Amino acid sequence: MTDSTPPPWVDDLFPFPTPPALRTLIDIAWQDAYDFYQENESYDYTLLETHYDFMFDLATIPRPPDGCDGYPEFDNQRRQPSLPHYATPEFVSFGSLGDGGKIGWLVPAPELRRLDHPVALASGHEHGVTLIGADTRTGLHFMLSWALRRWRQNPVPEPPAGRDPDVWLAQSQRRINARAKDRRLVDRLAAELRVHPDPDRTFPGSRWKGTAVMEDTEFNIVFDVPEGWRHEPGADGIGVLAPADAYNDREPVVYISSWESSLEPALADAERLLDTGHPATALLGLKDIFVNAPSGHFADLKPLWARAYRDLGRSEYAERLDLMTPMYQ
């Protein structure tokens, strides 16, 4: 430990230990913020967040070190977990794309306490997720490649004909410096993760359309299913992973969205499934209703949805439903 070495940050950001690849990124941001503190005697925690031009903004950040006063004043509200619109609680975000979309892990069964998880994008504008990596390292590899693809499409311009190069350079220096800094971050993170980003690289689960990321609809997300467990795909793109005996042998009652249909039969079926000890099938049906029914039905779904999570031992996901409530009122 030296004067320029920050104290270790406390790993209490997610419901599970931060996977090593993301720790690498947070370490880089943590050191950057601490260097600023050393130089300015003021701690700017926003330096831990603002990496959107590089890849994404961190969705949650460590607390500043003890004794580090700074501006803006740190508030634990900055560390509140967030869900993009239309995502289900099994999507645990760790980055914000700045347009309502998020990057995060797919964690269908947190009680398994796995050390890493598949990574996906949730657009925030429609249901479903787009897989970009089987684990955090692969997901970050994708994001680095995406950054290079965007920069290739939108390079730092050269001085236009007829303009004084010195004047143009003075006016454009900030943008040039920002791109150079972002490029250094890409190179550093790629080196530390030992990956080789490429703007033309493709990844299972997604495809390119220019600089946009599109879901590969022919690709099915597959989870590692322990012995005695079962995974059923769902309309949210994640589905339900649970012990086999938590399922019923039949499909849940389907809600078909139309002006003349009623939600009551599907809700009554979910309650029967819960009463008879089949919370996994109930959860599958409730999440499918969430995707297919108008968003105004969230309040009707929430009590049974929360109960299904609790019956499966996933109380933290029942609490995440509370975070979703303001979005669907």
The 10 Å Cβ neighbour count of residue 90 is 27
Q: Is 177 exposed, middle or buried (0-12, 13-18, 19+ CB in 10 A)?
A: exposed
* Average pLDDT rounded to a whole number, residues 14-42: 91
Contact 323, 82 (CB under 8 A): yes
Q: Identify the pLDDT of residue 107.
A: 97
Contact 108, 239 (CB under 8 A): yes
- Evaluate the CA torsion angle 24, 30, 35, 38 in order and state its sign: negative
H or E segment to which residue 106 belongs: strand 102-106
- Structure confidence by residue, pLDDT tens digits, 127-153: 999 999 999 999 999 999 999 999 998
Q: Where are the alpha helices (DSSP H) in the chain?
A: 20-40, 136-153, 165-193, 264-275, 279-292, 298-311, 315-324
CA angle 111–114–118, rounded 5-degree value: 110
Least confident of 54-63, 108-117, 173-182: 173-182
Q: Identify the pLDDT of residue 1.
A: 39
Give the pTM.
Answer: 0.91
Query: Is pLDDT above 60 for 258?
Result: no
- Structure confidence by residue, pLDDT tens digits, 279-304: 999 999 999 999 988 877 899 999 99
Query: Is pLDDT above 90 for 237?
Result: yes
Residues 136 and 145: their CA atoms lie apart, in Å, by 14
- Structure confidence by residue, pLDDT tens digits, 85-124: 999 999 999 999 988 899 999 999 999 999 999 999 999 9
Residue 46 — pLDDT band, cuts 50, 70, 90?
confident
> Could you give the percent of the chain with pLDDT greater than 70?
97
Q: Highest mean pLDDT: which of 79-83, 92-96, 176-180, 247-251? A: 92-96
Q: Identify the pLDDT of residue 110.
A: 96
Residues 76 and 81: their CA atoms lie apart, in Å, by 11
Q: Identify the pLDDT of residue 259.
A: 47
Contact 317, 83 (CB under 8 A): no
Residue 257 — pLDDT band, cuts 50, 70, 90?
low
**Which one, of 77, 73, 42, 72, lies nearest residue 61 by Cα?**
77
For the chain, counts of helices (H) and of strands (E):
7, 9
Tokens of 144: 């680095």
The single residue listed with the structure tokens 């306490």 is 113
